[in-house]
């Protein structure tokens, strides 16, 4: 399966959307499959120092050569697609990491009347295991569905023929409330019980459509035989299945053995981007997006039709139904339609979303000049002595002097190097003094680099005019490195470039790629600083608000700060989350304070 592909160094450019990602090793083999509510945050987390302290995670990351991903509609969809991919490819690190984390599985015991329960201990002698499940909530949802559909016993009795014949056991409360048919007293035969177990196994294997068809046929048969109460029972079970399936777009019993295609055109009309999703037994099992060059005289629908033919051939699909966003001519044995509403339309929209993202990705790759050429242009425009492969840019952020902070962003080879970004709390300056703040952070940055014997940048960029630039130069002079590193200031209003000790600024052409790079640096530094400032201000307002609430002590304040971090996140939290964290009584106090506007 081919998703959108990135090199491992470009993981920070993944989208902030739910999806499934795959890590590939040396031999282009899938070594790990995972799901994410936010692809960018989840994949980035593998490369943080905290995660690399784990021996197995460190080993996994060291083997990653490139990353592929696909966007889905929700985290639940991602879970289902992840499970399908793990079953298909059996990546070795999925087994290593899951065993290490002790993820739960569902066991169907091999007893005479089998039980179904969740466990974190795998003992193959006890029965058949399904999993492991990365989401306990999803696993419990499956178990709950099975217990609502079937009368599966929960007791641990040894229900041998001899024990039942001797009436060794008595029915329990589960029998009286209708959750069990009483096999312990011989009130249900083993043959009838095993039918329920077979149906449950089908659900655990993801074959919900098969179970639904079975219930439908049994319901019709019962109605024909005038057994209306039995028919109603099967109808209720069907309703339960549909309710369970309605949580996900990917699994839908009405959409089976279907191919989904969508197409979008490049801006200049020279290419088409076609996404393909293959659905079998109600689940997405393949997804790929391709770019197709188009001849001037060709119609888009004709190009899409040829692409459909090629992709179906590649994946050996014989599905009789095709959904698209552009109608194409049908061929024998295949029904092609453009859905307007419902789950089929949602599937086409999901496919189109992947095609659009692929288009955006390709367009950005083509529109950006080679980094070496951009840096060469910047070198010429600023008359630098060497290529600025390492650039650092500084910015301040404060509101009337409150919560003053600063940021430094680092670009290497013309690209953001986010692991080298730095945040600074202003320590020595009182009040709203941007010049003094700039001097402090520039001094702290390069004093650290000198003390640690680390490489200095090829260019320093200051977000501001002559005042901020002069302050930064003062810091460099105190460290005796002034003149060793080129330094410039970029003023926002007219995009003027200032040099030290030069009263007149220079202007770079607005169309120049070098100015775009400097603007990117400046904007990134500003974004990073303002985000840090907002976080600090939000935390400060949360602390001050909590300090005024009677009954909330330092320990509780600390818990709330660590968990939520900001006023907005605290206000959006559920009552259950608060109770789990600080208890019932303090939750009531916090909720009252929120209602009164004290927080």
Burial of 121 (0-12, 13-18, 19+ CB in 10 A): exposed
Report the distance separating Cα 142 and Cα 118, nearest Å: 10
Contact indicator for 253, 230 with CB cutoff of 8 Å: no
Q: Pick from 302, 260, 303, 264: which is nearest to 284 by CA?
A: 260
For residue 450, give both structure tokens: 């000198």
What DSSP state is assigned to residue 438? H
Q: Which helix (H) or strand (E) holds 153?
A: none
Within 10 angstroms of residue 211's Cβ, the number of other Cβ atoms is 21
In percent, the amount of the chain with pLDDT more than 90 equals 11
The mean pLDDT of 43-49, rounded to a whole number, is 77
For residue 131, give both structure tokens: 């999993």
Q: What is the pLDDT of residues 166-191, one digit of tens each?
A: 888 888 888 888 888 889 988 989 99
Q: Pick from 481, 520, 475, 519: which is nearest to 497 by CA?
A: 519
Contact indicator for 250, 80 with CB cutoff of 8 Å: yes
Query: Taking the C-alpha atoms of 89, 93, 97 and 100 in order, what is their torsion angle to the nearest 10 degrees?
Result: 110
Report the distance separating Cα 28 and Cα 91, nearest Å: 12
- 477 CB-near residues (< 8 Å, 6+ apart): none
HSE-CB of 330 using CA atoms within 13 angstroms: 11
Within 10 angstroms of residue 208's Cβ, the number of other Cβ atoms is 22
Q: Pick from 533, 536, 538: which is nearest to 406 by CA?
A: 533
Please tell me which residue, 475 or 586, carries the higher pLDDT value: 475
For residue 71, give both structure tokens: 């966007």
- Most confident option among 60-69, 130-139, 250-259: 60-69
Q: What is the pLDDT of residues 85-99, one digit of tens each?
A: 776 677 877 755 444
Report the distance separating Cα 547 and Cα 467, nearest Å: 39
- Most confident option among 22-31, 157-166, 345-354, 575-584: 157-166
Q: Is the pLDDT of residue 389 over 60?
A: yes
Q: Is the pLDDT of residue 250 over 50?
A: no
The mean pLDDT of 202-214, rounded to a whole number, is 72
Q: What is the pLDDT of residues 273-316, one digit of tens each?
A: 888 888 775 566 677 888 888 776 667 888 888 888 888 888 88
Q: Pick from 409, 424, 508: which is nearest to 463 by CA?
A: 409
- H helical segments located in 268-341: 300-314
Query: Which domains occur in the chain, in start order?
Result: 4-101 (3.40.1440.10), 105-206 (no CATH), 258-367 (3.30.420), 374-534 (3.30.420.340), 548-596 (1.10.150)
Report the distance separating Cα 288 and Cα 243, nearest Å: 30
Report the distance separating Cα 204 and Cα 149, nearest Å: 13
Within 10 angstroms of residue 230's Cβ, the number of other Cβ atoms is 15
Contact indicator for 292, 307 with CB cutoff of 8 Å: yes
Q: What is the pLDDT of residues 512-543, one digit of tens each?
A: 888 889 988 988 888 888 887 576 655 555 45
């Amino acid at each position: 399966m081919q998703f959108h592909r990135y090199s491992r160094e470009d993981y920070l450019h993944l989208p902030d959307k739910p999806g499934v990602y795959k890590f590939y090793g040396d031999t282009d083999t899938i070594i790990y499959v995972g799901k994410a509510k936010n692809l960018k945050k989840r994949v980035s987390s593998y490369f943080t120092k905290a995660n690399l302290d784990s021996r197995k995670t460190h080993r996994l990351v060291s083997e990653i050569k490139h990353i592929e991903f696909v966007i889905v509609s929700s985290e639940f969809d991602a879970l289902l697609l992840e499970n399908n991919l793990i079953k298909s490819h059996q990546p070795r690190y999925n087994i290593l990491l899951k065993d290490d984390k002790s993820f739960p599985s569902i066991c169907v015991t091999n007893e005479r009347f089998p039980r179904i329960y969740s466990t974190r201990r795998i003992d193959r002698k006890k029965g058949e295991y399904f999993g492991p499940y990365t989401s306990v909530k999803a696993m419990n949802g499956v178990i709950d569905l099975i217990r609502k559909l079937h009368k599966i016993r929960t007791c641990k009795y040894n229900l041998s023929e001899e024990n039942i014949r001797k009436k060794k056991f008595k029915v329990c409360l589960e029998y009286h409330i209708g959750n069990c048919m009483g096999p312990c007293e011989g009130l249900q035969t083993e043959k009838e019980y095993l039918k329920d177990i077979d149906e449950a196994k089908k659900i655990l294997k993801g074959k919900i459509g098969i179970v639904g068809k079975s219930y439908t046929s049994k319901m019709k048969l019962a109605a024909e035989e005038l057994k209306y109460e039995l028919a109603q029972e099967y109808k209720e079970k069907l309703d339960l299945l549909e309710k369970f399936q309605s949580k996900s777009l990917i699994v839908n019993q009405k959409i089976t053995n279907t191919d989904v295609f969508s197409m979008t055109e490049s801006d200049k009309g020279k290419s088409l981007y076609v996404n393909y999703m293959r659905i079998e037994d109600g689940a997405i099992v393949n997804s790929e997006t391709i770019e197709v060059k188009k001849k001037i005289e060709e119609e888009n629908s004709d190009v899409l039709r040829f692409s459909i033919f090629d992709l179906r051939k590649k994946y050996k699909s014989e599905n009789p139904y095709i959904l698209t966003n552009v109608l194409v001519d049908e061929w024998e044995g295949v029904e092609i339609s453009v859905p307007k509403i419902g789950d089929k339309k949602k599937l086409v929209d999901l496919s189109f979303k992947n095609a659009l993202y692929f288009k955006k990705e390709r367009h950005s790759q083509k529109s950006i000049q080679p980094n070496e050429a951009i840096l060469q242009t910047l070198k010429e425009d600023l008359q630098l002595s060497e290529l600025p492969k390492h650039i650092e840019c500084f910015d301040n952020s404060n509101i009337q002097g409150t919560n003053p902070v600063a940021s430094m962003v680092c670009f290497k080879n013309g690209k953001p190097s986010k692991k080298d970004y730095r945040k600074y709390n202003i320590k020595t300056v009182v009040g709203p003094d941007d010049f003094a703040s700039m001097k402090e952070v520039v001094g702290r940055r390069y004093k650290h680099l000198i003390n640690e014997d680390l490489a200095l940048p090829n260019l320093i960029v200051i977000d501001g005019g002559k005042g901020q630039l002069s302050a930064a130069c003062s810091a460099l002079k105190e460290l005796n490195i002034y003149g060793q590193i080129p330094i410039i200031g970029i003023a926002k209003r007219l995009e003027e470039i200032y040099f030290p000790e030069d009263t007149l600024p220079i202007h770079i052409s607005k169309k120049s790629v070098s100015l775009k790079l400097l603007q990117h640096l400046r904007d990134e530094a500003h974004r990073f600083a303002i985000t840090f400032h907002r976080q600090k201000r939000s935390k400060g307002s949360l602390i001050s608000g909590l300090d005024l609430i009677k009954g909330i002590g330092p320990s509780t304040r600390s818990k709330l700060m660590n968990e939520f971090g900001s006023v907005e996140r605290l206000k959006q939290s559920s009552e259950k989350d608060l109770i789990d964290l600080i208890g019932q009584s303090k939750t009531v106090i916090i909720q009252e304070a929120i209602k009164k506007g004290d927080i």
